[in-house]
């Protein structure tokens, strides 16, 4: 029944357009020519077109799934990171240059960050001093110090640092300490 109504509607539109363009709605004299359904597949062709149109309308009636609210992307409890252990390599060369590897630390809040400092200098002891007022002085070449403090446990984002350099501290501007920044975000 639907396909018949569709066919009649299309036939009426084609005839009207053909008449407006000087044709009688039949043949190729107008810009829009109407071909009888029997000539191009008949009722079966119109029925399949009507079915396609019906499924298209039905698709439009469904809510868009890709525009729906986002799923909760929080990490599952068993995948949550419980702590982070990081080795910081202290590097002091023979030209009074101090540095660390990594050079900066960016860590998440509420995940305990445990630091271990390893003096990789072959010739110098190192001092490691925290902005919180503690540290290790005269860490021997090849020595290891496990920082006892859990970092990044505050409620809000913050930055702290360790000054790392040659044991005994900098001498004027000649042997400056390297400042290892720890950004807790």
Higher-pLDDT residue of 35, 167? 167
d(CA 80, CA 75): 6
User: Residue 116 CA to chain centroid, in angstroms?
Assistant: 30
pLDDT tens column, 58-100: 655 555 444 434 333 334 434 445 678 999 999 999 888 999 9
Mean pLDDT value across residues 124-147 = 96
Over pLDDT 90: what percentage of the chain? 45
* Parallel/antiparallel/unpaired status of strands 84-92 and 104-107: unpaired
Q: Which CATH architecture has domain 83-184?
A: Sandwich (2.60)
- What residues does each domain of the chain span? 2-54, 83-184
Q: What per-residue confidence (pLDDT) applies to 54? A: 60
Average pLDDT over the chain, rounded to whole? 73
pLDDT digits (tens, 9 = 90+) for 142-183: 999 999 999 999 989 999 999 999 998 776 667 889 999 999
How far lies 38's CA from each of 7, 44, 46, 54, 76, in Å?
11, 9, 10, 22, 62
Q: What pLDDT is stored for residue 16 in this prediction?
A: 46
Quick one: pLDDT at residue 169? 75
Q: Where are the alpha helices (DSSP H) in 21-162?
A: 42-61
Mean pLDDT for the stretch of residues 50-58? 58
Put simply, whether the predicted model's pTM sits higher than 0.75 gets the answer no
Yes or no: say if 25 and 14 are a contact pair by the CB < 8 Å rule.
yes
């Amino acid at each position: 029944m639907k396909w018949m109504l569709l066919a009649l509607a299309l036939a009426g539109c084609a005839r009207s357009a053909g008449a407006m363009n000087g044709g009688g709605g039949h043949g190729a004299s107008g810009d829009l020519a109407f071909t009888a359904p029997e000539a191009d597949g008949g009722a079966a062709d119109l029925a399949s077109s009507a079915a396609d149109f019906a499924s298209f309308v039905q698709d439009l009636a469904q809510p868009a799934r890709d525009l729906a609210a986002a799923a909760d992307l929080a990490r599952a409890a068993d995948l949550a990171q419980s702590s982070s252990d990081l080795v910081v390599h202290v590097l002091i060369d023979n030209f009074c240059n101090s540095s660390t590897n990594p050079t900066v630390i960016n860590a998440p809040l509420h995940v305990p960050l445990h630091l271990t400092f390893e003096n990789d200098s072959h010739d110098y002891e190192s001092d490691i001093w925290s902005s919180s007022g503690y540290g290790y002085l005269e860490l021997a070449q090849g020595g290891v110090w496990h920082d006892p403090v859990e970092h990044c446990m505050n409620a809000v984002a913050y930055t702290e640092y360790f000054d790392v350099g040659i044991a005994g501290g900098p001498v004027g501007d000649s042997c400056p300490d390297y400042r290892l920044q720890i950004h807790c975000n």
